[in-house]
Copies of this chain bind each other. A is one copy, B any other.
Amino acid sequence: MLSRPKIGILGSGKGSNMVALHQAVQEGRLDADIALVISDVQEAGILEQASKMGLKHIYLAPGPYRTKLDEQAELSYLQHLQGAGVQWVVLAGFMRILKGEFLRVFHHRVINIHPSLLPSFPGLEAWKQALDYGVKFTGCTVHLVDQGIDTGPIIMQQTVPVSEEDTPQSLHARIQQAEHETYPLAVQKALHSQLKIQGRLCTAEEAG
């Protein structure tokens, strides 16, 4: 019987990855408890979804900056996560950069998913970047969050073919489908393997 670590989910958008993670928990594919969902956007769909699914959720103001949490907000996020007993933080469309103190407290315990095969196309609208570049394959990348933007050690990747007929919307939808399949697998691996981080490299041994 695997332990059930408590995870906290942070998101700014509609929360489709949170829904996928919740389904995986319900179906026994992800051995974890979603202890808290936090959004930096008061009217974000992710809070409504969390409410519907009976998950504890809260809006926490991010402070005055556009792309990060201010110091006070970061402390508030940390307090709520720790208060809920959260051991792993899982980002699901969270549009703010997490900085030093947060990453020190949750060292190697913040997981993100990015809609490209990193290191190609970090940053915003990665599906559009991929389409503009003319790649024939893109995908998604689950990685540990470090101080950089989309640079941390990679836990899992999945490839997605690009077709000549793709629009940004159709490609984005196909990548999101891959995300919903990959994210629960990768989070399960992170929580229940002995992740070995050496520099940029992330390998896993099955926990005993």
Contact = CB atoms under 8 A, between A and B. Distances in A.
Per DSSP, chain A at the interface is mixed
Nearest to A138: B117
A118 interface: yes
A189 to B, nearest CB: 11
Nearest to A119: B120
Interface of A: 117-121, 132-137, 139, 153-154, 156-159, 164, 200-204
Contacts of A156: 136
The number of times this chain is found in the oligomer is 2
Contacts of A120: 117-120
A157 B156 CA distance: 20
Task: Give the residue among A118, A120, A203 with the most B Cβ atoms within 10 A.
Answer: A120
A135 B164 contact: no
B137 A201 contact: no
